[in-house]
Structure 1
Amino acid sequence: MRIARFSIDGTVGFGVVEGEATGDGGLALEVIKGHPFAEFERSGRRVPLSEVRLLPPVLPSKVVAIGRNYREHAREMGNEVPGTPVVFFKPSTSVVGPGDPVVYPSFSGEVHHEAELAVVIGRMCSQVPRERAADVILGYTCANDITARDIQRTEEQWARAKGFDTSCPLGPWVETALDPAAASDLAIMCTVNGEQRQLGRTGEMVRGIEELIVHITQAMTLLPGDVILTGTPAGVGPLNPGDEVAVTIEGIGTLTNKVIKRD
Protein backbone atom coordinates (compact mmCIF):
# COMPACT_ATOMS: atom_id res chain seq x y z
CA MET A 1 0.00 0.00 0.00
CA ARG A 2 1.28 3.45 -0.93
CA ILE A 3 0.35 6.04 1.68
CA ALA A 4 0.77 9.70 0.78
CA ARG A 5 0.34 12.91 2.72
CA PHE A 6 -1.29 15.59 0.65
CA SER A 7 -2.90 19.00 0.50
CA ILE A 8 -6.01 19.91 -1.47
CA ASP A 9 -8.26 22.96 -1.15
CA GLY A 10 -6.50 23.98 2.05
CA THR A 11 -6.99 20.59 3.68
CA VAL A 12 -4.09 18.33 4.68
CA GLY A 13 -4.58 14.61 5.06
CA PHE A 14 -3.41 11.12 4.22
CA GLY A 15 -4.51 8.93 1.36
CA VAL A 16 -3.84 5.65 -0.40
CA VAL A 17 -2.32 5.99 -3.88
CA GLU A 18 -3.86 3.61 -6.40
CA GLY A 19 -3.18 2.70 -10.02
CA GLU A 20 -0.10 2.88 -12.21
CA ALA A 21 1.57 5.93 -13.69
CA THR A 22 0.72 6.43 -17.37
CA GLY A 23 1.18 9.17 -19.91
CA ASP A 24 -2.16 10.68 -18.96
CA GLY A 25 -1.59 10.41 -15.22
CA GLY A 26 -3.26 7.20 -14.19
CA LEU A 27 -2.71 7.54 -10.44
CA ALA A 28 -5.50 8.37 -8.03
CA LEU A 29 -5.61 9.03 -4.31
CA GLU A 30 -8.30 7.70 -1.97
CA VAL A 31 -8.58 9.84 1.16
CA ILE A 32 -8.40 7.94 4.44
CA LYS A 33 -10.09 8.74 7.73
CA GLY A 34 -7.46 9.02 10.42
CA HIS A 35 -3.74 8.55 10.00
CA PRO A 36 -1.49 5.62 9.03
CA PHE A 37 -0.02 5.12 12.52
CA ALA A 38 -3.22 3.50 13.76
CA GLU A 39 -6.16 1.67 12.22
CA PHE A 40 -7.88 3.84 9.64
CA GLU A 41 -10.85 3.72 7.31
CA ARG A 42 -10.86 4.33 3.57
CA SER A 43 -13.36 7.09 2.83
CA GLY A 44 -14.27 6.14 -0.73
CA ARG A 45 -13.44 9.67 -1.90
CA ARG A 46 -10.99 9.48 -4.80
CA VAL A 47 -9.23 12.31 -6.59
CA PRO A 48 -6.66 12.24 -9.41
CA LEU A 49 -3.20 12.46 -7.93
CA SER A 50 -2.47 15.30 -10.35
CA GLU A 51 -5.06 17.45 -8.53
CA VAL A 52 -3.39 17.30 -5.11
CA ARG A 53 -0.09 18.60 -3.82
CA LEU A 54 2.04 15.85 -2.36
CA LEU A 55 3.67 16.82 0.94
CA PRO A 56 6.49 15.09 2.81
CA PRO A 57 4.90 11.70 3.55
CA VAL A 58 5.61 12.08 7.28
CA LEU A 59 6.65 14.85 9.66
CA PRO A 60 9.41 13.18 11.69
CA SER A 61 10.43 14.37 15.12
CA LYS A 62 13.92 13.41 13.97
CA VAL A 63 15.71 11.95 10.99
CA VAL A 64 18.42 9.51 12.07
CA ALA A 65 20.96 9.04 9.30
CA ILE A 66 23.73 6.51 8.77
CA GLY A 67 27.01 7.44 7.11
CA ARG A 68 29.40 5.27 5.10
CA ASN A 69 27.06 2.27 4.92
CA TYR A 70 28.04 1.38 1.33
CA ARG A 71 31.64 0.29 0.80
CA GLU A 72 32.07 1.94 -2.59
CA HIS A 73 30.73 5.26 -1.32
CA ALA A 74 33.07 5.14 1.68
CA ARG A 75 35.92 4.45 -0.74
CA GLU A 76 35.04 7.33 -3.09
CA MET A 77 35.08 9.65 -0.07
CA GLY A 78 38.52 8.35 0.92
CA ASN A 79 37.24 6.55 4.00
CA GLU A 80 37.06 3.03 5.35
CA VAL A 81 33.82 1.42 6.47
CA PRO A 82 33.67 2.20 10.21
CA GLY A 83 33.66 -0.53 12.84
CA THR A 84 30.34 0.74 14.18
CA PRO A 85 27.65 2.70 12.30
CA VAL A 86 28.22 6.43 11.90
CA VAL A 87 25.01 8.01 13.22
CA PHE A 88 24.02 11.65 12.73
CA PHE A 89 20.81 13.69 12.69
CA LYS A 90 18.99 15.85 10.22
CA PRO A 91 16.46 18.15 11.92
CA SER A 92 12.76 18.13 11.15
CA THR A 93 13.19 21.56 9.56
CA SER A 94 15.39 20.00 6.85
CA VAL A 95 12.49 17.91 5.51
CA VAL A 96 10.72 18.83 2.28
CA GLY A 97 8.46 16.83 -0.02
CA PRO A 98 8.31 15.80 -3.67
CA GLY A 99 8.40 18.77 -6.00
CA ASP A 100 9.56 21.15 -3.28
CA PRO A 101 12.66 23.22 -4.02
CA VAL A 102 16.04 22.45 -2.52
CA VAL A 103 17.50 25.84 -1.65
CA TYR A 104 21.24 26.03 -2.27
CA PRO A 105 22.76 27.19 1.04
CA SER A 106 24.51 30.55 0.99
CA PHE A 107 27.41 29.27 3.13
CA SER A 108 28.44 26.46 0.76
CA GLY A 109 29.99 26.23 -2.69
CA GLU A 110 29.78 22.45 -3.11
CA VAL A 111 26.46 20.70 -2.57
CA HIS A 112 26.04 17.00 -3.37
CA HIS A 113 23.12 14.60 -3.86
CA GLU A 114 22.94 11.31 -1.93
CA ALA A 115 20.14 8.91 -2.92
CA GLU A 116 18.98 6.81 0.03
CA LEU A 117 16.37 4.29 1.13
CA ALA A 118 14.44 5.74 4.06
CA VAL A 119 12.79 3.59 6.73
CA VAL A 120 9.64 5.11 8.26
CA ILE A 121 8.91 4.08 11.84
CA GLY A 122 5.31 3.18 12.62
CA ARG A 123 5.21 2.97 16.42
CA MET A 124 7.07 4.24 19.45
CA CYS A 125 9.94 1.88 20.14
CA SER A 126 13.05 1.49 22.23
CA GLN A 127 15.53 -1.34 22.84
CA VAL A 128 14.16 -3.24 19.84
CA PRO A 129 15.51 -6.81 19.48
CA ARG A 130 16.43 -7.89 15.96
CA GLU A 131 13.56 -10.38 15.73
CA ARG A 132 11.05 -7.56 16.42
CA ALA A 133 12.59 -4.91 14.16
CA ALA A 134 10.12 -5.52 11.32
CA ASP A 135 7.22 -4.87 13.71
CA VAL A 136 8.16 -1.22 14.25
CA ILE A 137 8.38 -0.31 10.53
CA LEU A 138 5.47 1.42 8.81
CA GLY A 139 7.15 1.32 5.40
CA TYR A 140 9.78 2.82 3.14
CA THR A 141 10.24 5.93 1.04
CA CYS A 142 12.87 7.66 -1.09
CA ALA A 143 15.24 10.20 0.41
CA ASN A 144 17.96 12.56 -0.75
CA ASP A 145 20.56 13.34 1.92
CA ILE A 146 21.60 16.68 0.41
CA THR A 147 25.05 17.54 1.74
CA ALA A 148 27.20 20.66 1.79
CA ARG A 149 30.35 18.67 1.09
CA ASP A 150 32.83 21.51 1.58
CA ILE A 151 31.36 22.23 5.02
CA GLN A 152 31.40 18.53 5.90
CA ARG A 153 35.14 18.46 5.19
CA THR A 154 35.95 21.45 7.37
CA GLU A 155 33.62 21.01 10.36
CA GLU A 156 33.95 18.01 12.66
CA GLN A 157 30.24 17.97 13.44
CA TRP A 158 27.97 17.60 10.40
CA ALA A 159 25.07 19.65 11.73
CA ARG A 160 25.37 22.46 9.18
CA ALA A 161 26.64 20.28 6.33
CA LYS A 162 23.74 17.83 6.60
CA GLY A 163 21.04 19.73 8.46
CA PHE A 164 20.39 22.95 6.59
CA ASP A 165 16.85 23.84 5.53
CA THR A 166 15.54 21.74 2.58
CA SER A 167 18.45 19.25 2.83
CA CYS A 168 16.18 16.22 3.38
CA PRO A 169 13.67 15.64 0.57
CA LEU A 170 11.39 12.66 1.31
CA GLY A 171 8.72 11.01 -0.83
CA PRO A 172 6.72 10.61 -2.88
CA TRP A 173 4.84 8.30 -0.47
CA VAL A 174 5.40 5.48 2.01
CA GLU A 175 5.32 1.96 0.57
CA THR A 176 4.05 -0.39 3.29
CA ALA A 177 4.01 -3.66 1.31
CA LEU A 178 7.74 -4.34 1.63
CA ASP A 179 9.28 -6.34 4.46
CA PRO A 180 12.93 -5.80 5.48
CA ALA A 181 14.11 -8.69 3.31
CA ALA A 182 12.45 -7.27 0.19
CA ALA A 183 13.57 -3.72 1.00
CA SER A 184 17.14 -5.01 1.30
CA ASP A 185 17.35 -5.92 -2.39
CA LEU A 186 16.07 -2.94 -4.37
CA ALA A 187 17.67 -0.95 -7.17
CA ILE A 188 18.38 2.66 -6.16
CA MET A 189 19.22 5.37 -8.67
CA CYS A 190 19.84 9.10 -8.76
CA THR A 191 19.65 11.26 -11.88
CA VAL A 192 20.47 14.92 -12.34
CA ASN A 193 18.77 16.60 -15.31
CA GLY A 194 17.98 13.12 -16.61
CA GLU A 195 21.60 11.93 -16.46
CA GLN A 196 22.31 8.91 -14.26
CA ARG A 197 24.69 9.69 -11.41
CA GLN A 198 24.14 6.88 -8.89
CA LEU A 199 23.06 3.29 -9.44
CA GLY A 200 23.25 0.55 -6.84
CA ARG A 201 21.23 -1.89 -4.80
CA THR A 202 20.18 -1.70 -1.20
CA GLY A 203 21.70 -5.16 -0.82
CA GLU A 204 25.09 -3.43 -0.92
CA MET A 205 24.50 -1.92 2.51
CA VAL A 206 27.14 -2.98 5.01
CA ARG A 207 24.61 -3.02 7.83
CA GLY A 208 21.04 -3.95 7.07
CA ILE A 209 17.77 -2.39 8.10
CA GLU A 210 17.12 -4.57 11.14
CA GLU A 211 20.66 -4.14 12.45
CA LEU A 212 20.35 -0.37 12.16
CA ILE A 213 17.06 -0.32 14.07
CA VAL A 214 18.61 -2.39 16.86
CA HIS A 215 21.68 -0.14 17.01
CA ILE A 216 19.73 3.14 17.03
CA THR A 217 17.08 2.08 19.55
CA GLN A 218 19.73 0.96 22.02
CA ALA A 219 20.38 4.67 22.48
CA MET A 220 17.12 6.49 21.77
CA THR A 221 13.38 6.11 21.49
CA LEU A 222 11.96 6.36 18.00
CA LEU A 223 8.49 7.86 17.54
CA PRO A 224 5.84 7.21 14.89
CA GLY A 225 6.89 9.03 11.74
CA ASP A 226 10.58 9.13 12.59
CA VAL A 227 12.84 8.31 9.65
CA ILE A 228 16.07 6.34 9.32
CA LEU A 229 18.29 7.11 6.32
CA THR A 230 20.28 3.99 5.50
CA GLY A 231 23.24 5.38 3.54
CA THR A 232 24.01 6.06 -0.11
CA PRO A 233 25.68 4.08 -2.89
CA ALA A 234 28.67 5.38 -4.81
CA GLY A 235 28.36 8.13 -7.40
CA VAL A 236 27.53 11.18 -5.29
CA GLY A 237 28.22 14.43 -7.04
CA PRO A 238 27.52 18.13 -7.33
CA LEU A 239 24.23 19.95 -7.62
CA ASN A 240 23.80 23.50 -8.89
CA PRO A 241 20.89 25.94 -8.97
CA GLY A 242 18.61 25.00 -11.84
CA ASP A 243 19.34 21.27 -11.59
CA GLU A 244 16.51 18.75 -11.30
CA VAL A 245 17.50 15.81 -9.12
CA ALA A 246 15.51 12.57 -8.93
CA VAL A 247 15.85 9.57 -6.63
CA THR A 248 14.18 6.38 -7.84
CA ILE A 249 13.92 3.22 -5.76
CA GLU A 250 12.56 0.02 -7.24
CA GLY A 251 9.13 -0.88 -5.88
CA ILE A 252 8.66 2.50 -4.20
CA GLY A 253 8.69 5.39 -6.67
CA THR A 254 10.54 8.53 -7.70
CA LEU A 255 11.28 11.63 -5.64
CA THR A 256 12.02 14.71 -7.75
CA ASN A 257 13.19 18.15 -6.60
CA LYS A 258 14.66 21.21 -8.26
CA VAL A 259 17.62 23.11 -6.85
CA ILE A 260 17.16 26.85 -6.60
CA LYS A 261 19.31 29.77 -5.53
CA ARG A 262 18.40 31.53 -2.30
CA ASP A 263 16.79 34.90 -2.98
Structure 2
Amino acid sequence: MKLARFSIDGTTTIGVVQNNRVIELAHLLPGAPATIREVLAAGPELFQRIKAALSTQITGHALEDVRLEAPIPDAQKYMAIGMNYHDHAEEAARAGIAVPKNQLWFNKQVSCITGPFDPIYKPRVSDKMDYEAELGVVIGKQCRYVSEADARSVVAGYFVSNDVTARDWQFQSPTFTLGKSFDSHGPIGPWITTDDEVADPHDLQMRLWVNGELRQEQNTGKMIYNIWQQIHHLSQVMTLMPGDLIATGTCANVGIALGKFLLPGDVVRVEIDQLGHIENKVEAETAQDYVR
Protein backbone atom coordinates (compact mmCIF):
# COMPACT_ATOMS: atom_id res chain seq x y z
CA MET A 1 0.00 0.00 0.00
CA LYS A 2 1.20 3.48 -0.87
CA LEU A 3 0.07 6.22 1.52
CA ALA A 4 0.26 9.71 0.06
CA ARG A 5 -0.46 13.24 1.19
CA PHE A 6 -1.63 15.46 -1.64
CA SER A 7 -3.29 18.72 -2.57
CA ILE A 8 -6.03 19.36 -5.09
CA ASP A 9 -8.33 22.34 -5.57
CA GLY A 10 -6.80 24.15 -2.62
CA THR A 11 -7.32 21.26 -0.17
CA THR A 12 -4.65 18.98 1.31
CA THR A 13 -5.60 15.49 2.41
CA ILE A 14 -4.26 11.93 2.49
CA GLY A 15 -5.00 8.92 0.36
CA VAL A 16 -3.89 5.65 -1.15
CA VAL A 17 -2.11 5.41 -4.51
CA GLN A 18 -3.30 2.66 -6.80
CA ASN A 19 -2.88 2.29 -10.57
CA ASN A 20 -1.64 5.86 -11.09
CA ARG A 21 -4.58 7.27 -9.16
CA VAL A 22 -4.85 8.48 -5.58
CA ILE A 23 -8.03 7.72 -3.64
CA GLU A 24 -8.90 9.94 -0.70
CA LEU A 25 -8.84 7.94 2.52
CA ALA A 26 -11.91 9.77 3.83
CA HIS A 27 -13.83 8.46 0.81
CA LEU A 28 -12.61 4.92 1.39
CA LEU A 29 -13.28 4.93 5.12
CA PRO A 30 -15.41 7.77 6.49
CA GLY A 31 -14.05 8.81 9.87
CA ALA A 32 -10.54 7.52 9.07
CA PRO A 33 -7.51 9.39 10.50
CA ALA A 34 -6.64 12.68 8.85
CA THR A 35 -2.83 12.26 8.85
CA ILE A 36 -0.47 9.49 7.81
CA ARG A 37 1.13 9.56 11.26
CA GLU A 38 -2.27 8.71 12.75
CA VAL A 39 -2.82 5.96 10.18
CA LEU A 40 0.52 4.38 11.10
CA ALA A 41 -0.23 4.62 14.82
CA ALA A 42 -3.57 2.87 14.33
CA GLY A 43 -1.73 -0.20 13.13
CA PRO A 44 -2.49 -3.38 11.16
CA GLU A 45 -6.23 -3.51 11.84
CA LEU A 46 -6.75 -0.20 10.04
CA PHE A 47 -4.41 -1.31 7.23
CA GLN A 48 -6.61 -4.35 6.66
CA ARG A 49 -9.75 -2.21 6.56
CA ILE A 50 -8.16 0.10 4.00
CA LYS A 51 -7.11 -2.83 1.81
CA ALA A 52 -10.61 -4.31 1.98
CA ALA A 53 -12.12 -0.98 0.96
CA LEU A 54 -9.68 -0.67 -1.95
CA SER A 55 -10.96 -3.92 -3.43
CA THR A 56 -14.27 -2.22 -4.24
CA GLN A 57 -13.10 1.37 -4.77
CA ILE A 58 -12.48 2.49 -8.36
CA THR A 59 -12.71 6.28 -8.18
CA GLY A 60 -10.01 8.77 -7.31
CA HIS A 61 -7.78 11.45 -8.79
CA ALA A 62 -5.20 10.91 -11.50
CA LEU A 63 -1.75 11.44 -10.04
CA GLU A 64 -1.00 13.99 -12.75
CA ASP A 65 -3.88 16.13 -11.45
CA VAL A 66 -2.67 16.40 -7.85
CA ARG A 67 0.32 17.91 -6.09
CA LEU A 68 2.11 15.36 -3.96
CA GLU A 69 3.20 16.78 -0.60
CA ALA A 70 5.65 15.53 2.03
CA PRO A 71 3.86 12.41 3.32
CA ILE A 72 4.82 13.10 6.95
CA PRO A 73 5.48 16.81 7.41
CA ASP A 74 5.11 16.70 11.19
CA ALA A 75 7.46 13.92 12.31
CA GLN A 76 8.66 14.14 15.90
CA LYS A 77 12.15 13.07 14.85
CA TYR A 78 14.19 12.86 11.66
CA MET A 79 17.38 10.92 12.37
CA ALA A 80 20.11 10.23 9.83
CA ILE A 81 23.23 8.06 9.86
CA GLY A 82 26.53 9.19 8.36
CA MET A 83 29.04 7.25 6.24
CA ASN A 84 26.95 4.09 6.21
CA TYR A 85 27.88 2.71 2.79
CA HIS A 86 31.21 1.03 2.21
CA ASP A 87 31.97 2.98 -0.98
CA HIS A 88 31.09 6.33 0.63
CA ALA A 89 33.28 5.56 3.65
CA GLU A 90 36.13 4.72 1.28
CA GLU A 91 35.81 8.00 -0.64
CA ALA A 92 35.73 9.89 2.67
CA ALA A 93 38.88 8.10 3.82
CA ARG A 94 40.64 9.04 0.57
CA ALA A 95 39.77 12.67 1.34
CA GLY A 96 41.37 12.38 4.78
CA ILE A 97 38.09 12.17 6.71
CA ALA A 98 38.22 9.66 9.54
CA VAL A 99 35.78 6.77 9.17
CA PRO A 100 33.76 6.35 12.39
CA LYS A 101 34.19 3.12 14.33
CA ASN A 102 30.57 3.20 15.50
CA GLN A 103 27.24 4.28 14.08
CA LEU A 104 27.42 8.04 13.46
CA TRP A 105 24.05 9.71 14.01
CA PHE A 106 22.78 13.27 13.66
CA ASN A 107 19.44 15.08 13.58
CA LYS A 108 17.87 16.65 10.57
CA GLN A 109 15.60 19.19 12.21
CA VAL A 110 12.03 18.45 11.15
CA SER A 111 11.62 22.01 9.85
CA CYS A 112 13.76 20.96 6.86
CA ILE A 113 11.10 18.54 5.57
CA THR A 114 9.62 19.44 2.21
CA GLY A 115 7.68 17.78 -0.57
CA PRO A 116 8.89 15.29 -3.16
CA PHE A 117 8.68 17.81 -6.02
CA ASP A 118 9.11 21.10 -4.15
CA PRO A 119 12.08 23.42 -4.71
CA ILE A 120 15.15 23.07 -2.55
CA TYR A 121 16.82 26.38 -1.79
CA LYS A 122 20.49 27.18 -2.01
CA PRO A 123 21.10 29.15 1.20
CA ARG A 124 22.46 32.67 0.88
CA VAL A 125 25.03 31.68 3.53
CA SER A 126 26.40 28.52 1.88
CA ASP A 127 28.46 27.88 -1.25
CA LYS A 128 28.72 24.12 -0.77
CA MET A 129 25.21 22.69 -1.17
CA ASP A 130 25.35 18.94 -1.73
CA TYR A 131 23.03 15.99 -2.45
CA GLU A 132 22.78 12.54 -0.84
CA ALA A 133 20.44 9.84 -2.15
CA GLU A 134 19.08 7.79 0.75
CA LEU A 135 16.55 5.11 1.57
CA GLY A 136 14.15 6.44 4.20
CA VAL A 137 12.43 4.36 6.88
CA VAL A 138 9.35 5.39 8.84
CA ILE A 139 8.57 3.92 12.25
CA GLY A 140 5.10 2.48 12.81
CA LYS A 141 5.02 1.61 16.51
CA GLN A 142 6.06 3.27 19.73
CA CYS A 143 9.08 1.27 20.84
CA ARG A 144 12.19 1.21 23.01
CA TYR A 145 15.05 -1.30 23.39
CA VAL A 146 14.19 -3.09 20.15
CA SER A 147 16.28 -6.14 19.31
CA GLU A 148 17.72 -6.53 15.83
CA ALA A 149 15.53 -9.61 15.40
CA ASP A 150 12.38 -7.63 16.18
CA ALA A 151 13.31 -4.38 14.42
CA ARG A 152 11.34 -5.04 11.25
CA SER A 153 8.15 -5.38 13.28
CA VAL A 154 8.29 -1.67 14.19
CA VAL A 155 8.80 -0.46 10.61
CA ALA A 156 5.72 0.96 8.89
CA GLY A 157 7.30 1.55 5.51
CA TYR A 158 9.86 3.25 3.30
CA PHE A 159 10.33 6.42 1.26
CA VAL A 160 12.83 8.15 -1.02
CA SER A 161 15.00 10.83 0.58
CA ASN A 162 17.60 13.37 -0.42
CA ASP A 163 19.71 14.32 2.60
CA VAL A 164 20.57 17.76 1.21
CA THR A 165 23.63 19.13 3.02
CA ALA A 166 25.38 22.48 3.33
CA ARG A 167 28.91 21.07 3.65
CA ASP A 168 30.51 24.30 4.88
CA TRP A 169 28.03 24.39 7.78
CA GLN A 170 28.22 20.64 8.38
CA PHE A 171 31.90 20.76 9.21
CA GLN A 172 31.59 23.75 11.53
CA SER A 173 30.20 21.44 14.22
CA PRO A 174 30.91 17.78 15.04
CA THR A 175 27.17 17.07 15.34
CA PHE A 176 26.49 17.91 11.64
CA THR A 177 22.99 19.12 12.60
CA LEU A 178 23.20 22.69 11.32
CA GLY A 179 24.60 21.67 7.96
CA LYS A 180 21.87 19.07 7.55
CA SER A 181 18.88 21.14 8.62
CA PHE A 182 18.49 24.17 6.37
CA ASP A 183 14.88 24.86 5.43
CA SER A 184 13.80 22.77 2.41
CA HIS A 185 16.81 20.43 2.73
CA GLY A 186 14.70 17.40 3.59
CA PRO A 187 12.65 16.44 0.52
CA ILE A 188 10.89 13.10 1.10
CA GLY A 189 8.31 10.99 -0.69
CA PRO A 190 6.74 10.53 -3.08
CA TRP A 191 4.64 8.52 -0.61
CA ILE A 192 5.10 5.92 2.13
CA THR A 193 5.31 2.40 0.70
CA THR A 194 4.25 0.04 3.47
CA ASP A 195 6.62 -2.68 4.60
CA ASP A 196 4.45 -5.52 3.34
CA GLU A 197 5.07 -4.39 -0.27
CA VAL A 198 8.87 -4.56 0.01
CA ALA A 199 10.24 -8.09 0.15
CA ASP A 200 13.78 -7.02 1.11
CA PRO A 201 14.62 -3.39 1.85
CA HIS A 202 18.29 -4.38 1.69
CA ASP A 203 18.02 -5.25 -2.00
CA LEU A 204 16.81 -2.06 -3.66
CA GLN A 205 18.68 -0.16 -6.34
CA MET A 206 19.13 3.53 -5.53
CA ARG A 207 20.10 6.22 -8.06
CA LEU A 208 20.56 9.98 -8.14
CA TRP A 209 20.83 12.28 -11.16
CA VAL A 210 21.74 15.96 -11.39
CA ASN A 211 20.48 17.55 -14.62
CA GLY A 212 20.16 14.08 -16.16
CA GLU A 213 23.74 13.07 -15.25
CA LEU A 214 23.85 9.91 -13.15
CA ARG A 215 25.90 10.76 -10.06
CA GLN A 216 25.08 8.03 -7.55
CA GLU A 217 24.03 4.40 -7.94
CA GLN A 218 24.20 1.63 -5.37
CA ASN A 219 22.24 -1.27 -3.91
CA THR A 220 20.91 -0.82 -0.38
CA GLY A 221 22.54 -4.12 0.52
CA LYS A 222 25.86 -2.27 0.62
CA MET A 223 25.12 -0.54 3.93
CA ILE A 224 27.67 -0.97 6.70
CA TYR A 225 24.96 -1.09 9.39
CA ASN A 226 21.68 -2.49 8.13
CA ILE A 227 18.26 -1.05 8.98
CA TRP A 228 17.63 -3.46 11.84
CA GLN A 229 20.98 -2.62 13.45
CA GLN A 230 20.17 1.07 13.08
CA ILE A 231 16.78 0.77 14.78
CA HIS A 232 18.24 -1.36 17.56
CA HIS A 233 20.96 1.21 18.18
CA LEU A 234 18.66 4.25 18.18
CA SER A 235 16.11 2.58 20.42
CA GLN A 236 18.70 2.11 23.16
CA VAL A 237 18.69 5.90 23.53
CA MET A 238 15.20 7.15 22.73
CA THR A 239 11.62 6.04 22.37
CA LEU A 240 10.80 5.83 18.68
CA MET A 241 7.31 6.99 17.75
CA PRO A 242 4.94 6.35 14.84
CA GLY A 243 5.93 8.70 12.04
CA ASP A 244 9.57 9.10 13.11
CA LEU A 245 11.85 9.20 10.08
CA ILE A 246 15.25 7.56 9.58
CA ALA A 247 17.60 8.27 6.65
CA THR A 248 19.80 5.20 6.29
CA GLY A 249 22.89 6.67 4.65
CA THR A 250 24.22 7.55 1.21
CA CYS A 251 26.63 5.93 -1.21
CA ALA A 252 29.69 7.22 -3.08
CA ASN A 253 29.96 10.13 -5.49
CA VAL A 254 28.46 12.89 -3.41
CA GLY A 255 29.12 16.37 -4.73
CA ILE A 256 31.94 17.20 -2.34
CA ALA A 257 33.88 14.13 -3.54
CA LEU A 258 33.39 15.09 -7.19
CA GLY A 259 33.92 18.81 -6.68
CA LYS A 260 30.40 19.43 -8.03
CA PHE A 261 28.12 21.38 -5.71
CA LEU A 262 24.50 22.23 -6.45
CA LEU A 263 23.64 25.57 -8.04
CA PRO A 264 20.37 27.38 -8.76
CA GLY A 265 18.73 25.85 -11.81
CA ASP A 266 20.01 22.32 -11.11
CA VAL A 267 17.42 19.52 -10.96
CA VAL A 268 18.08 16.60 -8.60
CA ARG A 269 16.20 13.34 -9.07
CA VAL A 270 16.44 10.42 -6.61
CA GLU A 271 14.91 7.07 -7.50
CA ILE A 272 14.68 3.83 -5.53
CA ASP A 273 13.27 0.65 -7.07
CA GLN A 274 9.76 -0.20 -5.82
CA LEU A 275 9.46 3.12 -3.97
CA GLY A 276 9.25 5.69 -6.78
CA HIS A 277 11.19 8.92 -7.17
CA ILE A 278 11.45 12.49 -5.98
CA GLU A 279 12.68 15.42 -8.07
CA ASN A 280 13.60 18.86 -6.79
CA LYS A 281 14.81 21.98 -8.56
CA VAL A 282 17.43 24.10 -6.82
CA GLU A 283 16.40 27.73 -6.45
CA ALA A 284 18.29 30.68 -5.04
CA GLU A 285 17.06 31.73 -1.64
CA THR A 286 15.69 35.26 -1.46
CA ALA A 287 14.72 37.43 1.48
CA GLN A 288 11.06 36.65 0.85
CA ASP A 289 11.31 32.85 0.73
CA TYR A 290 10.96 32.22 4.44
CA VAL A 291 8.80 35.05 5.67
CA ARG A 292 6.31 33.38 7.99
Would the TM-score normalized by the shorter structure come out above 0.5? Answer: yes
Alpha-carbon offset, residue 154 of structure 1 = 3.2
Higher helix share: 2
| Contact 1:134/1:179 (8 A) holds in 2 | no
Alpha-carbon offset, residue 77 of structure 1 = 2.2
Q: Compare CA radii of gyration and give the structure with the larger one.
A: 2
Alpha-carbon offset, residue 54 of structure 1 = 0.7
Which of 237, 242, 267 is the matching residue for 1:244?
267
Cα distance in 1 for partners of 2:67, 2:121 equals 19
* SS of residue paired to 1:235: coil
Equivalent residue runs for 1:117-132 within 5 Å: 117-132=135-150
85-94 or 121-130, larger mean C-alpha shift: 121-130
Cα distance in 2 for partners of 1:197, 1:174 equals 25
The residue number in structure 2 matching 1:62 is: 77
For the pair 1:201 / 2:216, whether they are aligned, the reply is no
RMSD: 1.7
TM-score normalised by structure 1 residue count: 0.92
* Amino acid of the structure 2 residue aligned with 1:53: R
Cα distance in 1 for partners of 2:104, 2:197 equals 24
| Contact 2:155/2:195 (8 A) holds in 1 | no
Q: Deviations over 1:118-137 (max 9, x none)?
A: 00111211111222211111
Cα distance in 2 for partners of 1:181, 1:216 equals 23
| Contact 2:156/2:195 (8 A) holds in 1 | no
Cα distance in 2 for partners of 1:184, 1:121 equals 17
CA change 1:115–1:48 in 2 (3 A) is same
| Contact 1:7/1:54 (8 A) holds in 2 | yes
| Contact 2:141/2:242 (8 A) holds in 1 | yes
Higher strand share: 1
Cα distance in 1 for partners of 2:78, 2:155 equals 14
Q: Deviations over 1:35-94 (max 9, x none)?
A: 431215448441111121111111311101000101211222233542210010011100
Cα distance in 2 for partners of 1:207, 1:155 equals 24
Equivalent residue runs for 1:173-188 within 5 Å: 173-178=191-196, 182-188=200-206
For these two proteins, the number of residue pairs brought into alignment is: 256
Structure 1 runs (4+) greater than 4 angstroms displaced:
177-181
The residue number in structure 2 matching 1:9 is: 9
Which of 245, 261, 269 is the matching residue for 1:227?
245
Which of 238, 245, 256 is the matching residue for 2:279?
256
Alpha-carbon offset, residue 178 of structure 1 = 4.8
The residue number in structure 2 matching 1:94 is: 112
* SS of residue paired to 2:149: helix
Cα distance in 2 for partners of 1:6, 1:138 equals 19
- Residue segments in structure 2 that go unaligned for 5+ positions in a row: 27-31, 34-38, 256-260, 287-292
The residue number in structure 2 matching 1:143 is: 161
Q: Deviations over 1:110-149 (max 9, x none)?
A: 1110000000111211111222211111100000000111
CA change 1:178–1:192 in 2 (3 A) is farther
TM-score normalised by structure 2 residue count: 0.83
